[in-house]
Amino acid sequence: MPADNVYATKVMLNDIKNNYRDDLSKVTVVSPDVGGVVRSRALAKFIDDADLAIIDKRRSADNVSEVMNIIGDVKDRICIVPDDIIDTAGTLCNASDVLKKSGASKVIAYITHPVLSGPAVDRISKSSIDELIVTDSISLSQDAKKCSKIRVISLASTLAECMRRLNNEESLSALFL
């Protein structure tokens, strides 16, 4: 059976442009790891060809990562960190701390799937992350809903349009960047 991935990039891009339209020239898109460079570069291209930085990290064990270095300049920049999933939030919180220590003015993460297990919400609350924007692909816990740093953006219109196109045997590719 044929399958298509449904991407949240367009929804995230609309949110970035609506909330940071006056500051787009100050945005640097930060790939959370080498594996996310293609996704981050694509997002940066659509944010007025924003600068790109990369977090160089290593994993010493499952759910344990250490930020080694930041490739690129983040001083006085609004750092937008896109990723597909957040689980315990350790990597993102560590990355945020390193970005802030490197001079970032803000750290804003956009995550498609907010698993937010274990200590995640507490870590986010206490972290240097300014805002964590997640989609509604997974329901949030009550603690996550109460966290002032977490904001949800909806995939409902994207999914509805996917269903409409599938029912009408139309292409989905135009929906995605």
- Domain CATH for 80: 3.40.50.2020
In a domain, 154, yes or no: yes
What is the widest separation between alpha-carbon atoms in the chain?
Answer: 51
Q: What share of the chain in percent tops pLDDT 90?
A: 81
Mean pLDDT of 118-147: 98
In a domain, 8, yes or no: no
* Residue-range definition of the domain harbouring residue 97: 23-164
Q: Specify the pLDDT at position 162.
A: 93
Across 20-34, 75-89, 162-176, least confident range: 162-176
Give me the number of domains the chain comprises.
1
For residues 167 and 25, give the distance between their C-alpha atoms in angstroms, rounded to a whole number: 40
Active site residue 57: yes
Confidence at 5, pLDDT banded by 50, 70, 90: confident
pLDDT at position 120 over 60: yes
In a domain, 170, yes or no: no
Please tell me which residue in 57, 101, 126, 145 is annotated as part of the active site. Answer: 57
- The DSSP line for 85-151 is EESS-HHHHHHHHHHHHTT-SEEEEEEEEE---TTHHHHHHHSS-SEEEEETTSPPPHHHHH-TTEE
Do residues 10 and 43 touch, judged by C-beta distance below 8 A?
Answer: no
For residues 97 and 106, give the distance between their C-alpha atoms in angstroms, rounded to a whole number: 11
Q: Specify the pLDDT at position 138.
A: 96
* pLDDT tens per residue, range 41-97: 999 999 999 999 999 877 666 656 676 789 999 999 999 999 999 999 998 999 999
Mean pLDDT of the chain: 93
pTM, entire model: 0.92
In a domain, 14, yes or no: no
In a domain, 15, yes or no: no
